[in-house]
Amino acid sequence: MENVTKPWPALWSLVVGFFMILIDTTIVSVANPRIMEGLHTDINAVIWVTSAYLLAYAVPLLITGRLGDRFGPKNLYLIGLVVFTLASLWCGLSGDIATLITARVIQGIGAAMMTPQTMAVITRIFPPDRRGAAMGLWGATAGMAILVGPILGGVLVDGFGWQWIFFINVPIGIVGFILVTRLVPKLTTHSHKFDVLGVLLSAAGMFLLVFGIQEGQSYKWGTVAGPISVWGLIIAGLVVLALFVVWQWVLERRGGEPLLPLGLFKDRNFSLGNATIMSVGFTITAFPLPTIFYYQVVRGLTPTQSALLMIPMAVISGGLAPVVGRLIDRINPRWFAAFGLVCLSGALFWTGALLKPDTAIWMFLLPSALQGVANGFIWGPVSNATTRNLPPRQAGAGSGVFNTTRQIGAVLGSAAIAALIQARLAVELPAAPPGASPAGESGFTGALPPFLHEGFSTAMSQSVLLPAFAILVGAAVALFYAKPKVVQGWGAAPSKEEARSGEGEPEAVSRDGGQRNR
């Protein structure tokens, strides 16, 4: 293990940037209607602002961890922070939707360079008996960022304009750069082989799949260009992703270093946990979009007012998470996870039922409170059950796959909800009467005439059902988690079997920072 006398200041300095990039996965949702108005664009285009960021964020995650090993996690984190901060400035200065989407892609690449380095630094500078607390801070940061993003976004959009959800990153990025430069030590580097073919296959497969799903309604689920159809793109994406998995298996059998260590999936809980967190990523990205559009477009709430409806969720989640965290070492985490996931599904079905033009606004505080209960029971138990059975030397690789899976779920959720919203608007919005402003299926730009409120509300209500059902799948999967092994936490003594195989040696983690099998 690296000899670092003050690991906590180093971790806190990294958390500043980590919190910032995670907020940017959710902060845009509350600003979407204002971006549509300001850049004169439509629903599908504005949702690409989120999808492009998530896609550029998710695809490189499996390789940027290795780049950190090769060139030093501190160096790669700082490069990613500079890229992210400059791209944020570019986002705020964008004068059209194409420029904003391009800037968000660059921003996502910067975020992908930063995220794995926080985990790598934790595993390399904290002794085993203190590493659990550090991981707890890392996980709490991820959970709070998802809740804080929409609220902060609402305040910034109302007070200064949508551009400030990006401009705010500039001073934070500068402070984060100074802190990391001064407080994070330079760690030893390790050589790695880079799976270039794996990177290309995963990137191409994800792009084809996401583009096909999100743009399907725009092309009437027919021809995109020449012989290329929407369904052809989706099928091609699935085929390329299947080839990626096959290539990872071949590479692992040859003794190479695959991006996706398939051996990790031999652990039942790891496989099931990744399926669960994919459904979570899908749901938490998908459900805010139709609800925020309803709040602002139908009910006329400001971004701040619509974000404040999420306060019960944030408060209850923040209070419950530490309590649940203390219990999951003694009680099978599958019961906590399944309960939380069912609560989240129930909250979304409840919200969908309330999305009508005349529902009292205060009533939305009730499902928001239930969402808070759900969040308090989801994050800790799911992450604990997923990685707890892995030997310490595989912790870094396991965490990398876990984060990547969550982001892939988020990308698919963003694309799927965009397609569904467009499809339901095409069905539910009536034709405009003479003299009224029309609202086409993708030409809606934020100014909604009263005669369209009923149809728009119905379309948003129907759209919420998609993430509600998706999270139910995650709940069903969680019920099949096996009882975790008796190996307790990061600092536990190895079992006899682990001692014989070397898997339980703390030094195996400290030598390569948990990245050997990444």
Question: Which are the contacts of 379, defined by CB distance < 8 A and separation ≥ 6?
Answer: 139, 142, 143, 321
CB atoms under 10 Å from CB of 19, counted, come to 18
The residue with tokens 């689920």 is 221
> How would residue 432 be classed by pLDDT, with cut points 50, 70 and 90?
very low
Residue 454, pLDDT above cutoff 80: yes
Q: What is the mean pLDDT of residues 214-227?
A: 74
Q: What percent of the chain has pLDDT over 70?
A: 80
Phi/psi of residue 296, nearest 5 degrees: -90, -35
Give the residue, 464 or 318, on which the prediction is more confident: 464
Nearest one of 290, 237, 269 to 412, comparing CA atoms: 237
Question: pLDDT averaged over the chain?
Answer: 80
**pLDDT for residue 500:** 40
Mean pLDDT of 374-393: 77
> Is residue 154 pLDDT above 50, yes or no?
yes
Query: Rounded to whole angstroms, how far apart are CA atoms 356 and 112?
Result: 39
Q: What is the pLDDT of residue 499?
A: 41
CATH 1.20.1250.20, applies to 1-189:
yes
Q: Report whether pLDDT(437) > 50.
A: no
State yes or no: pLDDT of 276 exceeds 50: yes
Structure tokens at 358: 């005349």
207 with 22: CB under 8 angstroms? no
Q: What mean pLDDT comes out for the span 236-242?
A: 93
At residue 361, does pLDDT exceed 60? yes
26: pLDDT strictly greater than 80: no
Among residues of the chain, what percentage have pLDDT more than 90?
27
pLDDT of residue 236: 93
Evaluate whether 77 touches 113 at the Cβ level (below 8 Å). Answer: yes
Q: Which position has the token pair 């990744």? A: 274
Q: What is the pLDDT of residue 505?
A: 36
Q: What is the pLDDT of residue 329?
A: 65
Which tens digit of pLDDT belongs to each residue from 191-220? 667 778 888 898 888 888 888 887 776 777
Q: Which residue has the higher pLDDT, 306 or 244?
A: 244
Q: What's the CA angle centered on 242, arms 238 and 244, to 5 degrees?
A: 115
Residue 441 in this model has a pLDDT that exceeds 50: no
Superfamily (CATH) of domain 263-430+449-482: MFS general substrate transporter like domains (1.20.1250.20)
pLDDT category at 12 given cuts 50, 70, 90 is confident
Query: For residue 71, what are the CA distances in angstroms to 68, 78, 256, 392, 395?
Result: 5, 11, 20, 23, 20
Q: What gap in Å lies between CA 283 and CA 481, rounded to an integer?
A: 20
How many CB atoms sit inside 10 A of residue 129's CB?
A: 12
Q: Residue 323 CB: number of other CB atoms within 10 A? A: 11
Q: How confident is the model at residue 7 (pLDDT cuts 50, 70, 90)?
A: confident
Residues 281 and 467: their CA atoms lie apart, in Å, by 10
Quick count: other Cβ atoms within 10 Å of Cβ 227?
A: 7
Find the distance separating the first CA and the last CA of the chain, reported in whole Å: 18
Q: What is the pLDDT of residue 440?
A: 43
C-alpha to C-alpha distance for 479 and 351, rounded to whole angstroms: 25
Residue with structure tokens 């988690």?
A: 481
pLDDT at 21: 82
Position 435 scores a pLDDT of: 44
Question: 30-44, 62-76, 353-367 — which is least confidently predicted?
Answer: 62-76
One fold for both 1-189 and 263-430+449-482?
A: yes
DSSP states of 58-72: HTTHHHHHHHHHHH-
The domain limits of the chain are 1-189, 193-256, 263-430+449-482
State the pLDDT at residue 363. Answer: 95
Phi, psi of 292 (to 5 degrees): -65, -40
Per-residue pLDDT band at 339 (split at 50, 70, 90): very high
